Structure 1
Amino acid sequence: MDPYDLLGVSRDADDAAIKKAYRALARKYHPDVNPDEASQERFKEISHAYEILSDPTKRAAYDRGGDMGFGFGGGAGAGAGFSFTDIMDAFFGGQGGGGGTSSGRGPRSRSRRGQDALVGLEIDLAEAAFGASHEMTLDTAVVCDTCHGEGAAPGSKPVTCETCRGAGEVAHVQRSFLGEIRTLRPCAACRGFGTIIPDPCRDCGGDGRVRTRRTITIKVPAGVDNGTRLQLTGQGEVGPGGGPAGDLYVELRVARHPVFQRQGSDLHCQVTIPMTAAALGTVITLPTLEADLVTDDVTPETPTSFDLEVKPGTQPGSDQVLRGLGVPGLHGRGRGDLVVTVLVETPTGLDDEQAELLTQLSKLRGEEHPLGSLKATRQGFFGRIRDAFGEH
């Protein structure tokens, strides 16, 4: 039977039309889809037909009158060879070529993207809040200056692999119940590159890159927090063959501050005052976080201190909130508050005169024999259940 008729294509059909027709028929008659003997025989015939028409040499020989094994009697096409890649293409829509030719993937490039890198950077709380610049020294791969990423020694160049003839792949043939299955594998001689470097660069050993130490500037934006990762595009490892560099990720660690503790965008701190100051009231001057930025060359535009007014009768543990003195938000989105907790220090080590004065004060206030007042600090489990159901 004529292979053109088997595939249902004209004699002047191009490779794309032949491949399309074969895929359609292979899907229809493949033994996994139609296990009956007639379908299996039909599948062998169209596979043999495709083997002839997909190979320019075999197709030309057939067009000149050659038989090419088309004596389709009993067991016809049993010796037919076909590409396993083409079978897979028929079912999964791959781009493989036919008749044992290149699959279309071709040799792989020596130039590949480099890996991303992750480094840590410790910064102060003020730097996290208001931003800063840091210089970091990194040990990374960079493009080889000697071969400029080519991998070959100066004056030489890669040569075509004799094993795969530059295809980067070699065919392996196996026999199965379907006939000869031809698969393509990366060439072991050139590792799939299609070329071999006979004289590698002595500085990089043919890799196209070398390791070196370099210094970069890290710009920390205002408002970052502990654990924030900064992405620096193209600052990571240069790839093999001088390929584009990956990205560098900088993970920030914010050091503990001796005064302020950060909670979201708010800052918290504590101030301890004497009992007399809490009773009578006072004004205390305290530093803001901006005070950490003061150097010989830099003075912040915003205040570096503030006055905290302690009202008479302030109780231990009371909070005062100062608006807008916390941490700026990322991208300039507002600013948090500063929360100051007032702690009251009870005097110890009183001398006789001080003790007498406090004794007189307690008499004047009627506090010589205080009874105190009891309050439940924590409700029990059953008490919470009782209240939830309104039982008293």
Structure 2
Amino acid sequence: MADIDYYELLECERTADDGTLKASYRRLAMQWHPDRNPGDAAAEQRFKAISEAYDCLKDPQKRAAYDRYGKAAFEQGGGAGAQGFGGFGDIFSDIFEQFTGRGRQPTGRGQDLRYDLEMTLEECFNGKEATLEIEVAVACEPCGGSGAKPGTSAKACTTCHGQGKVGMRQGLFMVERSCPSCHGAGRIIANPCDTCHGQGRVERQKTLSVKVPAGVDEGTRIRMAGEGEAGQRGAGPGDLYIFVHLKPHPIFKREGTTLFAPMPVSVTTMALGGEIAVPGLDKTQASIKVPAGTQTGKQFRVRGRGMPALNGTGFGDLVVQLDVETPVKLTRRQKELLEEFQAIETEQDGKNTPAASGLFGKIKAMFSEAAE
């Protein structure tokens, strides 16, 4: 089992991204977890091997070293020019970390998680109480997240004396790196917990409730502090970030707090004028007075009938665009009236349609000039 390639253990290609590696690890960890395979020593070994593979490949620097040197990168004196733990790449990384204070935190907080939440425009208008189902690493209950079997405790590492780091001279430089014995934890667990196998955390399905405020938009990010993955061996948890995604609406389109809506209107209303009712997302109606002779495409702004401002006061506007709807399935009488109207319109030589008459006049003049 120890000689199997890490990528083969996780059933992933070598080009797999972090998300693919994580998803595959969670699936396999659930499949081979000792709790699901009681008394199966082979399953337990498989689980440990999978955990070892993921612990390596989830760390970008460890993964780079493994991709280049294989497991020899983590053996003293191993592998294709590697020096000590990780070769020249890790040596320069350790030097950089020493001077900038940006070293890896082996027992640092848990990873942040992302959740994509789809919402309708109505839900964004009113806000909602959303229930989320997430699979997350939580602190192991039997050991309280320590990783040690209940009734026992971890002991200070004798190699680094509990510091988690050891010094090593590389030429003119003295660099610090993670302790090879405790892997930076500063503690050694002689009797690991039977449930989490020394990790201090286990995978669980968790249900969360989040109050999404009114006015959220596409890309709005909501942070739930401490609801990410639990840290290793008692370290603090990460955060959960919820990203809002807006579902398409059959009528309204949104730009910030402004709503846009097309409104088909009969040709008689546009010509004679009138009043139309415009529905809003708050389930009430607003009235728009249409002046006689209104042209198709004309927009009217209704103040305060748009989206609510996020974490603020007031509402945006509703912009309604009127478009002429040509009548269909005319009755005989309607057809007669329209034909009569057409005849009168022809006699008036375009006085009722100045835009069209002006355009045709320009086209006629253009062809006349061309003929000359």
Q: With structure 1 as the length reference, what TM-score do the two structures score?
A: 0.58
Deviations 1:100-152 (A, max 9, x none): xxxxx9xx987421111111000111222332221111111111111001110
1:134 aligns with 2:130: yes
Residues 1:331 and 2:331 aligned together: no
Give 3-state SS (helix, strand or coil) of 1:290's partner: coil
Structure 2 match to 1:277: 269
Equivalent residue runs for 1:1-392 within 5 Å: 111-164=107-160, 166=162, 168-169=164-165, 185-291=177-283, 304-365=284-345, 367=347, 370=350, 372-375=356-359
Unaligned 5+ segments in structure 2 are 1-95, 361-372
- Computing the radius of gyration over CA atoms, which structure comes out larger, 1 or 2? 1
Percent identity among equivalent residues? 40
Distance 2:234 2:128 in 1: 32
Whole-angstrom distance in 2 between the partners of 1:351 and 1:193? 86
In 2, distance between residues paired with 1:163 and 1:262? Answer: 61
Describe the shift of the 1:114–1:165 C-alpha distance in structure 2 as closer, same or farther (beyond 3 A): closer
Task: From the superposition, tell whether residues 268 and 150 of structure 1 become closer, same or farther in structure 2 (CA, over 3 Å).
Answer: same
Contact 1:114 1:237 in 2 (8 A): yes
1:343 & 1:184 partners in 2: Cα distance? Answer: 72
Alpha-carbon distance in 1 for matches of 2:299, 2:213: 30
Per-residue Cα deviation, 1:32-86 (whole angstroms, up to 9, x for no partner): xxxxxxxxxxxxxxxxxxxxxxxxxxxxxxxxxxxxxxxxxxxxxxxxxxxxxxx
Which amino acid in 1 is paired with 2:306? G
**3-state secondary structure, aligned to 2:335:** helix
Q: Say if 1:312 and 1:199 are closer, same or farther in 2 by CA, change over 3 A.
A: same
- What is the Cα deviation at residue 169 of structure 1? 4.9
Q: Which amino acid aligns with 2:119?
A: I
Aligned equivalents of 1:318, 1:279: Cα separation in 2: 13
Q: 2 CA distance for matches of 1:355 and 1:184?
A: 91
CA displacement at 1:269 relative to structure 2: 0.6
Q: CA deviation at 1:349?
A: 4.6
Q: Is the 8 A contact 2:227 2:238 kept in 1?
A: yes
Tell me the residue number matched to 2:64: none
CA-CA distance at 1:309 after TM superposition: 2.8
Aligned-partner Cα distance in 2 for 1:169–1:288: 63
8 Å CA contact 1:110, 1:241 repeated in 2: no
Distance 1:367 1:327, change over 3 A: farther
| Matched pairs, number | 257
Q: How far 1:283 moved relative to its partner?
A: 2.8
Letter of the 1:246 partner, please give it: G
Q: 1:197 Cα shift?
A: 0.9
Distance 2:262 2:177 in 1: 70
CA shift for structure 1 position 162: 4.3
In structure 1, stretches of 5+ residues that fail to align are: 1-91, 96-104, 292-303, 377-392
Tell me the secondary structure at the aligned position of residue 357 of structure 2: coil
Tell whether the 8 Å contact from 1:112 to 1:242 is kept in structure 2 after alignment: no
Cα deviation, residue 330, structure 1: 1.9
Deviations 1:181-204 (A, max 9, x none): 977654322224343211101111
Retained in 2: the 8 A contact 1:112–1:241? no
Corresponding residue for residue 67 of structure 1: none
Shift of 1:167: 5.2
Q: 1:148 to 1:359 in 2, by over 3 A?
A: same
Letter in 2 for 1:239: G
What TM-score does the superposition give when structure 2 sets the normalisation length?
A: 0.61
CA–CA separation in structure 2 for the residues paired with 1:182 and 1:346: 83
Distance 2:325 2:290 in 1: 14
Counterpart-to-counterpart distance in 1, 2:323 and 2:156: 81
Per-residue Cα deviation, 1:325-346 (whole angstroms, up to 9, x for no partner): 0111122233211111111122
**Alignment RMSD:** 3.1
Does the C-alpha gap of structure 1 residues 359 and 263 become closer, same or farther in structure 2, counting only changes over 3 Å? same
SS in 2 for 1:332: coil
Rate the CA distance shift 1:358–1:267 in 2: closer, same or farther, 3 A. Answer: same
* Whole-angstrom distance in 2 between the partners of 1:182 and 1:283: 83
**Distance change (3 Å), C-alpha of 1:116 and 1:186:** closer
CA separation of 1:153 and 1:351: change in aligned 2, threshold 3 A: same
1:257 is aligned with what amino acid? H
Structure 1 residues 344 and 168: alpha-carbon distance in aligned structure 2, compared to 1, 3 A threshold: closer
- Tell me the residue number matched to 1:11: none
